[in-house]
A and B are shown apart, each in its own frame.
Chain A
Amino acid sequence: MQTLLRLSRPLLCIARSLPRVAFARSAKLSTASVAASSVNQEEIQFFSRLSSQWWDESGEFGLLHKMNPVRVQFVKNKIFETVHDDGFEEIAEREKNGKILDGLDVLDVGCGGGLLSESLARLGANTLGVDASASNITIASLHAAQDPALCRTSALGNVPLQYRNAAAEELVEEPKRFDVVCSMEVIEHVDNPAAFLRSCAELVKVSYELNSPGGHLFLSTVSRTPLAYFLTILAAEKLLQLVEPGTHTFSKYVKPAELIEFFQKPLGAAGRPWISHVYDGMPVRQEAEVRGMAYLPWKGAWTLAPRGAFGSTECNYLFWVRKPLSSRV
């Protein structure tokens, strides 16, 4: 009874959960080629079945599907705001035709089945989705291949969406950098969050324009609070068994303050901190922002909490930070 009462609160936390049962077989197949064209029929069928989990909107991933529009909205808002602050007028035009990310190079680290990558690509971004799991990449590629809008090559020869089986650390070794790097519901699953964050930050473009800051880093995760423990682990895994037990490890949850603190320190020997100062523990709007997200069961939808709303970042939250001017890191 107590549980049910508590659960009926407006806040419901989730974090991405991998369908472990389904993926048990995938280790064997991790050497399979990623390109859809070279996968044999039997493999396609196997992956399609897996894919039906990632893309089954009423299944275990339903809440994540519903969360997606809110994450995209946050990315859009911040890009719009900063481009506006930087004094580029044409952004309003882009907003109108729905292609607000037109021409931007966007990286989705830990893309899973491609939920976020597909949306970013539809908004005009040249999107690269990477995931350490080869089967995730195959699933994501197969799903995108069904959608002609995502695999059509543009007049300039750009393909709006591409996937690669790689870890963020591997990309750091390559020269390519991105206007926007997103890593949603990933950091709570990695072993060394500090190293992971450093790699993501490194992949963000440095600005070559005079007086203009660099690219953007977006994260979303779950805070390490009693409420988050209660909702994501005790309730979701143990009591209600909404997701596989073992999906989340409480000690890996990251608090917003810890992210802010991380970016207040220089990330490399020569670099500047991304967050120069904080007021009441919060960064200035031009440097970084933390926004809570909550699921409203009676609306069947997630909502982006208003800026600074009390208690809104106790569970699921989004984080944005921007590479500072003339930072090399």
Chain B
Amino acid sequence: MRFNYLVDTGAWKSVEESRVASIEEMQVWDGLSDARITFNANEANIGHNNGQAPHMATMTENLNLQRALLRSLDASGVAEIIDNTKVSRIEKDTRNGGWPLVHTSNGEVLRARLLVGADGPNSPVRSYAGIESYGWAYDTRAIVATLNHAPRLAGLQKQSKTAYQRFLPTGPIAFLPLSPTSSSLVWSTKPTLAAALTATDPQALVHMINAAFRLPEVSIRYLHRFVLDEKQQMSSDALLEEIRWRERAHVIDQHSVFSSHAFDGIGIPPSDAEMLPPLVTSIQPGSVASFPLRLSHADSYIGEGEHGSRTALLGDAAHTIHPLAGQGLNMGLADAQALAECIQSAVLVGGDIGSRTALLPYARARYFENHKLLSATDKLHKLYSSTFSPVVWVRSVGLEVVNELDTLKAAIMMTAGSSSSVQKQRFDASSWATAARSVELAGSAWRAATSVGKTVEGVLAAGLSNLLTSSGRR
């Protein structure tokens, strides 16, 4: 999250702190080769701001943030909110300079000097403005849910501040801590599997989630049939038995962290306990949902000409991204900040904030930035969807190389969540120079990647895809 921006605007004060988790560590590993990368905020020496412990990302539920933003808007007294109302139609005021007329479901008509489309992926404002959007649907849906689990034992407190993500060929599964006993799931997988998993008994889903973080990929694939094929469906208990049978087949010790047997509290916990998220015990009722994943980018962020004058797009209305890098919300917040700054400077020189001249700096500030993230994330998705073995080998080497390069890891963390303008500046000035230097040391593939910019997903993906195009083309 663009944390500092939320703090600076005062919105963060209204957030319910008990539902906020600071992430200090991120564990990411490859579902096929098990190559693992650990990001640690302490190590990278970032996130020391606002008097808080070093952290690399801040997690909270969308609802918590939305509630806080509404409260702080209310308190500011400068905005009027018309809630429980839909925009039913937008038309152009052709007789009076083409300003947008917004018809609401309660019968009001609002004439807008500037109409900001922050209205999500199916943006009615984007359609009104006639702005085309480029992209494609991934053959993937993301399942989201809020998970319950036992609190961490003393000595393992760190785990409630660690995020986990495993890249499976069907898509990444991510476990993001919210509190010591609850976490958020984002599991991207094939649409048929997502449909089956969301429809199945929640306890069976619990077992499938635990298995997806633990079992070797062949066994996970094998288990799919029990949720996909109606004839083979079984009770959640039978599913657990099946999982345990597979664990024995893979010689997974019952006391190992990879086992589906919960640690019984006797003796010392397994030494590698921090490599995996805690075992999920149940799912919060009503929290399971799934969404189609798309990559899309609007051709322009500001409307133009005949139809689109006095419109601007931001957030998911302008772009949608694969959730594997957790960037969706961040990008929207960064857009909002840039647009607000742009409007402010136009007001200071008496500009018309709906004019193209006033809005152009916003588009210039955000379009390319977002484009870099969109394409880097898209490349990562493609990279990790593959089971083709040279690719698996290359990306595992990629993960391990990155693991060695602390500055690069820092850069990845900067883009994977907690970046703020303050941090960014500090980073730009010194750390990036260091990062660039170590990139050069690592050879030409990395150097080529610096031109992609500060997104290290970009660095990673570009470096790897350079290698990949040659192996993939054979």
How many chain A residues touch B (CB < 8 A): the figure is 24
The digit string for B346-364, where 1 denotes a CB below 8 A from any CB of A, is 1111111001110011001
Q: Are B304 and A300 in contact (CB under 8 A)?
A: no
A123 CA / B351 CA spacing, docked (Å): 9
Q: How far is the CB of A45 from the nearest CB of chain B, in Å?
A: 10
Are B97 and A120 within 8 A (Cβ)? no
Give complex CA distance A145, B93 in Å. 13
Would B357 and A123 count as touching, CB distance under 8 A? Answer: no
Q: Which of B96, B348, B356 contacts A98 (CB 8 A)?
A: B348
Q: Are A57 and B347 CB-contacts (below 8 A) given A146-B97, A300-B364? A: no
Residues A121 and B355 in contact in the complex (CB < 8 Å), given A300-B360, A301-B361: no
- B187 proximal to A (CB < 8 A): no
Q: A69, A76, A299: which contacts B357 (Cβ < 8 A)? A: A69
CB contacts (< 8 Å) of B361 on chain A: these are 301
For the complex, is A199 an interface residue (Cβ under 8 Å from B)? no
Contact, CB under 8 Å: A69 / B352: no
Bound-state CA distance A21–B279 (Å) is: 76
Closest CB in chain A relative to B357 CB, distance in Å? 4
In contact, B356 and A121 (Cβ under 8 angstroms): no
Q: B36 to nearest A CB, angstroms?
A: 43
CB pairs A–B below 8 angstroms (18 shown): A57-B355, A57-B356, A58-B304, A58-B356, A65-B355, A68-B351, A69-B345, A72-B351, A73-B349, A118-B352, A119-B350, A123-B349, A143-B97, A146-B97, A147-B97, A299-B364, A300-B360, A301-B361
Residues of A with Cβ closer than 8 Å to B?
A: 57-58, 65-66, 68-69, 72-73, 76, 98, 118-123, 143, 145-147, 149, 299-301
Per DSSP, chain A at the interface is helix
Chain B residue numbers with a CB within 8 Å of A98 are 347-348
B233 to chain A, nearest CB (A): 60
- For residue B258, CB closer than 8 A to chain A, the reply is no
Q: Give the Cβ gap from A262 to chain B, nearest Cβ, in Å.
A: 28
Q: How far is the CA of A1 from the CA of B355 in the complex (A)?
A: 35
Q: Are B364 and A119 in contact (CB under 8 A)?
A: no
Interface size class of B (residues with CB under 8 A): 10 to 19
Q: Contacts of A149 on B, CB cut-off 8 Å?
A: 113
A293 vs chain B, min Cβ distance (A): 14
The answer to the question of B99 belonging to the interface, with a C-beta cut-off of 8 Å to chain A, is: yes
Residues of B within 8 A of A65 (CB): 355-357
Apart from A68-B351, A69-B357, A300-B364, what 20 extra A-B contacts exist at CB < 8 Å? A57-B356, A66-B357, A68-B357, A69-B349, A72-B350, A72-B351, A73-B349, A76-B348, A98-B347, A98-B348, A118-B352, A119-B349, A120-B350, A121-B350, A122-B350, A143-B97, A145-B96, A146-B96, A146-B97, A300-B360
B407 to chain A, nearest CB (A): 29
Q: Report the Cα distance A28→B356, complex, angstroms.
A: 33
Given A146-B96, A146-B97, A146-B99 in contact, is the A123-B350 Cβ separation under 8 Å?
yes
Q: Whole-angstrom distance from the CB of B137 to the nearest CB of chain A? A: 33
Q: Which residue of B lies closest to A123 (CB)?
A: B350
